[in-house]
Amino acid sequence: MGSVAQTKSKEPIQATAPKKVSIFGATGSVGCSTISLINERPENFQIEVLTANRNVKKLAEQAISLKARKAVIATTDLYEELKDCLSGTGVEAAAGADALIEAASEPVDWVMSAIVGAAGLAPTLAAIQTGSVVALANKEALVCAGDMMLQNVEKFGATLLPVDSEHNAIFQVLDLEQMDKVERIILTASGGPFLKLSYEEMRNVTLAQTLAHPNWDMGAKISVDSATMMNKGLELIEAVHLFPVGNDDVDIIIHPQSIIHSMVEYGDGSILAQMGAPDMRTPISYALGWPNRHKFKANRLDFGEMSALTFMEPDTSQFPALKLAKFALNTGKSAPTILNAANEVAVGGFLKGQIGFLDIVSIVEETLNCAKFVEFSDISDIYVEDRNGREIASNILRNKCA
Ligand code: NDP
């Protein structure tokens, strides 16, 4: 059984002082969408920390225009460049992995966790340990360290708000007080750009085709994950951690239009769905305003214009990533951590042009076949297993390139 998405209070709150906000992964797709929402009502927010990995120019521009207190670049070598860009602006510059954790340990009212990959785990945990409200986009952190993250949420009285559109949808329609009446959660999946291709037809797809998601405009890694459907596999694991349901209580259904973002089926036959245009600003806005709702100028659904909403069962021989994620979920222990680490390595290899599209999931499968799965007793065990998974996957990837 997973843990409930933690909430402090669902009572609407009246805005008084501006909300102190930090954004980890500010320069990415989710980070920029968050900033665009903040820019619609800047008087309501005070920006504390913004972070990036390498994109100094964008980070500095964001920090200056939002009058952030601090900007952190994860890549240590880029410190001087960031310092130069921020010179005379009053924005403090910092760099490196420790600086990220230190910045995340500074208490604020609301944190956006939008670093991509397991690199986001340490800062997200540090933010949780301040007892803040943490809006979680960084699903990989939850996949590789779900139980420990949720133990920390409880221990430090933090609030975790799901930002992933599917989990945000479930959060909006799930009645946590009547969980005994919930029959199942239905995660919707667009099927990505290759839904109409057979497994073999995907062998020679290009990077450009892979990154061209039909409905969503996202960062490179999640776009590749959507094309392999590993993204839905990661989301399955994410859902079981966020909501108090069993591994077999979450179904995946393909819905190519991405209008219904997910659904909850109750024991009386009612199915509650959250719908909206495919625009990440809607779930981010929900998390940013929570427990209130904000208004913003998102695209609205026009039912008169809509031709059809269609659904189909996913085919795991076409998208074997779904089977691997289910295997990792059911195996437990370090299996999800290894799955995630191998996937990050394989996606990285594909993005660099080292391997073909079908190699991505093969590398994950071969890594899972080689790995030994261990129980975690401490957070440091997770980092060890993450490194193990990366090492095994990197060796397999090297052999494929040879
Ligand atoms: P992007 O690749 O667009 O952005 C990633 C952000 O993380 C950038 O700010 C990047 O900095 C930073 N970053 C990358 N690597 C590191 C690192 N090693 N250390 C510190 N910072 C790093 O990703 P997305 O915004 O698309 O996705 C972010 C997260 O949100 C992912 O976990 C994704 O699965 C999830 N998500 C994304 C959605 C979307 O629509 N994009 C939807 C739902 C979930 P820099 O710019 O300098 O590289």
Taking the centre of ligand 1 as the mean of its atom positions, its distance from the CA of residue 159, in whole angstroms, is 21
Closest CA relative to residue 228, chosen from 346, 106, 70, 75: 346
Taking the centre of ligand 1 as the mean of its atom positions, its distance from the CA of residue 52, in whole angstroms, is 9
Quote the CA–CA distance of 400 and 363 in Å, as a whole number. Answer: 9
| pLDDT for res 4 | 39
8-17: list long-range contacts, CB under 8 Å, 24+ apart. Answer: 8/133, 8/157, 8/159, 9/291, 10/291, 11/291, 12/291, 12/292, 13/291, 13/292, 15/44, 17/46
Taking the centre of ligand 1 as the mean of its atom positions, its distance from the CA of residue 25, in whole angstroms, is 6
375 is written with which tokens? 């129980």
75 lines ligand 1 (CB under 6 A): no
Give the number of the atom of ligand 1 that is nearest the alpha carbon of residue 218.
Answer: 41
Quote the CA–CA distance of 318 and 301 in Å, as a whole number. Answer: 31
Taking the centre of ligand 1 as the mean of its atom positions, its distance from the CA of residue 223, in whole angstroms, is 11
Chain segment 281-330, per-residue pLDDT in tens: 999 999 999 999 988 888 889 998 888 999 999 999 999 999 999 999 99
| pLDDT for res 5 | 47
Q: Where are the domains of the chain?
A: 4-163, 165-277+302-315, 332-402
123 lines ligand 1 (CB under 6 A): no
Taking the centre of ligand 1 as the mean of its atom positions, its distance from the CA of residue 164, in whole angstroms, is 12
Among 22, 23, 24, 29, the mutation site with the greatest number of ligand 1 atoms within 8 A of its Cβ is 29
Taking the centre of ligand 1 as the mean of its atom positions, its distance from the CA of residue 124, in whole angstroms, is 13
Which residue's alpha carbon is nearest to atom 46 within ligand 1?
A: 27
Give the pLDDT band (50/70/90) at residue 15: low
Give the number of the atom of ligand 1 that is nearest the alpha carbon of residue 52.
Answer: 11
Give the number of the atom of ligand 1 that is nearest the alpha carbon of residue 223.
Answer: 26
Of the listed ranges 84-93, 250-259, 277-286, 300-309, the one predicted with least confidence: 300-309
Chain segment 59-86, per-residue pLDDT in tens: 999 999 999 999 999 999 999 999 999 9
226 lines ligand 1 (CB under 6 A): no
| pLDDT for res 306 | 86
Q: Which residue type does 24 have?
A: F
Chain segment 171-224, per-residue pLDDT in tens: 999 999 999 999 999 999 999 999 999 999 999 999 999 999 999 899 999 999
Residue 242 in this model has a pLDDT that exceeds 70: yes
CATH superfamily of 4-163: NAD(P)-binding Rossmann-like Domain (3.40.50.720)
| pLDDT for res 311 | 98
355: phi then psi, degrees, rounded to nearest 5: -140, 165
Give the number of the atom of ligand 1 that is nearest the alpha carbon of residue 31.
Answer: 25
70 lines ligand 1 (CB under 6 A): no
Among 30, 37, 72, 167, the mutation site with the greatest number of ligand 1 atoms within 8 A of its Cβ is 30
Whole-number percent of the chain with pLDDT over 70:
96
139 lines ligand 1 (CB under 6 A): yes
31 lines ligand 1 (CB under 6 A): yes
Chain segment 122-141, per-residue pLDDT in tens: 999 999 999 999 999 999 99
| pLDDT for res 297 | 81
**For residues 267 and 2, which has the higher predicted lDDT (pLDDT)?**
267
Q: Are strands 260-266 and 182-189 parallel, antiparallel or unpaired?
A: antiparallel
Task: Please tell us whether the domain made up of 332-402 is placed in CATH 1.20.120.80.
Answer: no
Chain segment 145-166, per-residue pLDDT in tens: 999 999 999 999 999 999 999 9
Closest CA relative to residue 225, chosen from 346, 105, 132: 346
Average pLDDT, the chain: 95
Chain segment 375-391, per-residue pLDDT in tens: 999 999 999 999 999 99
15 is written with which tokens? 């805005």
Among 36, 116, 165, the mutation site with the greatest number of ligand 1 atoms within 8 A of its Cβ is 116
DSSP character at residue 312 = B
Average pLDDT of span 238-258: 97
241 is written with which tokens? 């951690």
Taking the centre of ligand 1 as the mean of its atom positions, its distance from the CA of residue 35, in whole angstroms, is 14
Cα-Cα end-to-end distance for the chain: 43
| pLDDT for res 286 | 97
| pLDDT for res 14 | 53
Taking the centre of ligand 1 as the mean of its atom positions, its distance from the CA of residue 111, in whole angstroms, is 14
Taking the centre of ligand 1 as the mean of its atom positions, its distance from the CA of residue 304, in whole angstroms, is 35
Give the number of the atom of ligand 1 that is nearest the alpha carbon of residue 26.
Answer: 9
Taking the centre of ligand 1 as the mean of its atom positions, its distance from the CA of residue 147, in whole angstroms, is 22
Give the number of the atom of ligand 1 that is nearest the alpha carbon of residue 221.
Answer: 2
H/E segment holding residue 95: strand 92-95
**243 neighbors 2 (Cβ within 8 angstroms):** yes
Residue 3 in this model has a pLDDT that exceeds 90: no
